[in-house]
Amino acid sequence: MTYRNSMKRLMLINRYYRITRFYPFLKDTAFKAGVSVIVFVLIVLGLEFFVLDINSLLINLVETYAPQIIFSFFLVSETLLGLIPPEVFIGWASKSTTPWLFLFILATMSYAGGIISYFIGNRIFLIPSVKNHIENRIAKHISNLRKWGGFFVFVGAMLPIPHSVVSLASGLIKYNFRHYLLWALFRYARFALYALVIFRIF
């Protein structure tokens, strides 16, 4: 492919994303992500100063429950629509003897949970009533995924859109599995970035 053809293709892709309003969506979602981080930090600091000792609570979790139990619970959470925010578990990891190792394991559990969600979505078509119900519940995510493909998987991996929901939608529409795996790797980057903030707090 020549340089001119490459530039033409990039211009067409850029035009497509502008027409489908991907850039405003990305800007809005990134803004919400920033706000959610600030709100989370303020809530944590407020609880720490006025309500309870979160550091002691996290230390107690580390001392009371084996890491395998926490990791298993987190995997279930990340598979079933992100029941508990990952930030809670990152805070827990910060109190372990090997916080960055625990963070890596958490990110891997989240990545694996997404893969499980993908395959759940991929097999849902076998039960038409369930398939129709899920499609109606996550119709917006399915629409965005069909429009933006891997970039929407990236958004789900990095920003506060439930990663498991995006993964479920990917399986439901049979989005290319290899492409899904590659884009979902940004989940590791999200955990690392959040840890840089949360580890400093705790």
* One-character DSSP codes across 164-190: HHHHHHHHHTT--HHHHHHHHTHHHHH
What residues contact 73, with CB distance under 8 A and at least 6 apart? none
Q: Percent of the chain scored above 70 by pLDDT? A: 95
What pLDDT does 192 receive?
A: 95
The pTM (predicted TM-score) of the whole model is: 0.84
What pLDDT does 127 receive?
A: 78
What pLDDT does 134 receive?
A: 80
pLDDT, one tens digit per residue, over 20-55 is 888 888 888 888 777 877 887 787 777 667 666 777
The CB density around residue 191, as the number of other CB atoms within 10 Å, is 25
DSSP assignment, residue 161? S
Q: Of the spans 133-137, 148-152, 181-185, which averages the highest pLDDT?
A: 181-185
User: What is the three-class DSSP state of 195?
Assistant: helix
pLDDT, one tens digit per residue, over 159-180 is 877 888 899 999 999 999 999 9
Buried b (16+ CB within 10 A) or exposed e, 83-106: eeebbbbbbbbbbbeebeebbbbb
